[in-house]
Amino acid sequence: MTKIAAEPLAALRARTSAKWQTYPADVLPLFVAEMDFPLAVPVQQAIIERVLASDTGYIAGPEPVAAAFAGFAERSWGWAVDPGDVRTTTDASVAIVECLRQAVPVDGSVIITPPVYPPFYELPPEADASVVEVPLLLTGTGWQLDLPELEKAFARGADALLLCSPHNPLGLIHSADSLRVVAELSAKYGVAVISDEIHAPLAYMPGAFTPYLSVSANAREYGICVTAASKAWNIAGTKCALMVAQSDRTRLQLDSMPEEVAARTSILGLHATKAAYDDGAPWLAGVLESLDANRRLLGELLAAELPEAVYRPPAAGYLAWLDLRGLGWGDDPAAVALEQGRVALESGLKFGRRGAGFARLNFACSPEVLTEAVDRLARVRAGRQAK
């Protein structure tokens, strides 16, 4: 395994993505979910080959990437996926909206579990549905789904659950047992489950992640998996997401979508995603080694320089959910971090009301950048204490 190193700041600042163009050059951008690593060579080559062949038209179908994902799912999680059950579209958000349009009636309701990825508040209304919040529980052993409250929401007539698995921003991997209970409740009340599993390849412990559709026949009957290679291989801009259905009910939902849903898939994204699933595992292993070191380094830095910050290392992904209420930086500590420390974090307020006093930090960067970011925040803390 070859550890993958982040690119130097000079190279990163030449990128034109939002991460590197949103703020001035004196700001360290640790907000949006984009990594600072170079692309996997197989992914680079796949894109370059299509461009050199002038192959930049519309996709002919999902078959190449469907077979690649099926192989990856079997190797990674022991999940058997028929490539014929895989469809594609442009990105995970579009996939979620289109799945909700099929599974939820107009003026229906969709459950989300805050604190959660900010677009989850916007995607159900885009599908003409309202949002019902069932917050996660924080217990002595960590975060978890509030299964009794979920059942109450199901019984009150919710039409769907939008599940974030692994959960952003917490890096929480839902247990197989809790997912089985969700599936049982889904079948009991006839509630659709759309499981966003975009961060699944970024689990740190092998075997820790369980695909929702793999847990039971109940899960497969009412559930659809939405996923992509975009987070794990850093290719969000190539625009290809997958939807997986494994029952007659959910296959019909995917097949009932307008043809344009699939046609929006980028041919470059399709081939980049295929390369990631087929040949990107060594690169991913090297990136995970770097990320694992960074999530531990972050804990050490915070303990030494910002002891008031509460940090639980994520089980998956490269996003840290920081409880900064102990610093006295108000409801939006990310605003203080940016204004006084020149560090861009994602505001916890975007993740729901329970995000007040919190911020999300992206540690998919070099150890040097991460160290400098925490040093800057510590200087803000020291300056405020001196006052």
Q: Note whether 68 and 271 are within 8 A (CB).
A: no
Classify 113 as helix, strand or coil. coil
- Token reading at 187: 């079948």
CATH 3.40.640.10 fits 42-279, yes or no: yes
User: Token match 């130097």: residue?
Assistant: 8
Gyration radius of the chain's alpha carbons:
21
Backbone angles phi, psi at 38, to 5 degrees: -70, 155
pLDDT tens for the chain, 387 residues: list them: 689 999 999 999 999 999 999 999 999 999 999 999 999 999 999 999 999 999 999 999 999 999 999 999 999 999 999 999 999 999 999 999 999 999 999 999 999 999 999 999 999 999 999 999 999 999 888 999 999 999 999 999 999 999 999 999 999 999 999 999 999 999 999 999 999 999 999 999 999 999 999 999 999 999 999 999 999 999 999 999 999 999 999 999 999 999 999 999 999 999 999 999 999 999 999 999 999 999 999 999 999 999 999 999 999 999 999 999 999 999 999 999 999 999 999 999 999 999 999 999 999 999 999 999 999 999 999 987 665
**What is the value of pTM for the model shown?**
0.97
- Token reading at 260: 């344009």
Residue intervals of the chain classified under CATH 3.40.640.10 are: 42-279
> pLDDT (tens digit, 9 = 90+) per residue, 170-210?
999 999 999 999 999 999 999 999 999 999 999 999 999 99
Q: How far apart are CA 109 and CA 100, in angstroms?
A: 10
DSSP states along 300-359: HHHHHH-TT-EE---SBSSEEEEE-GGGT--S-HHHHHHHHH-EE-EEGGGG-GGGTTEE
- Token reading at 96: 């979620």
Q: How far apart are CA 149 and CA 145, in angstroms?
A: 9
Q: How far apart are CA 17 and CA 45, in angstroms?
A: 20
Q: How far apart are CA 34 and CA 49, in angstroms?
A: 24
Burial class of residue 183, CB neighbours in 10 A (0-12, 13-18, 19+)? buried
Residue intervals of the chain classified under CATH 3.90.1150.10 are: 9-38+281-386
Q: Note whether 132 and 72 are within 8 A (CB).
A: no
User: Token match 């079948």: residue?
Assistant: 187
**Cα 176 from chain centroid?**
19
The conformational region for residue 352 under phi > 0 = left, psi -120 to 50 = alpha, else beta, is left
343-344/28-29 β-pairing: parallel
Which alpha helices (H) appear in the chain, and where do they start and end?
Answer: 9-12, 18-21, 41-52, 63-77, 92-103, 123-126, 147-155, 176-189, 217-222, 248-255, 259-263, 267-279, 281-305, 333-341, 367-386
- List, in order, residues 6 or more apart from 360 with CB less than 8 Å away: 31, 169, 319, 320, 321, 322, 345, 346, 348, 351
Query: CB atoms < 10 A from the CB of 57, how many?
Result: 8
CATH 2.40.180.10 fits 9-38+281-386, yes or no: no
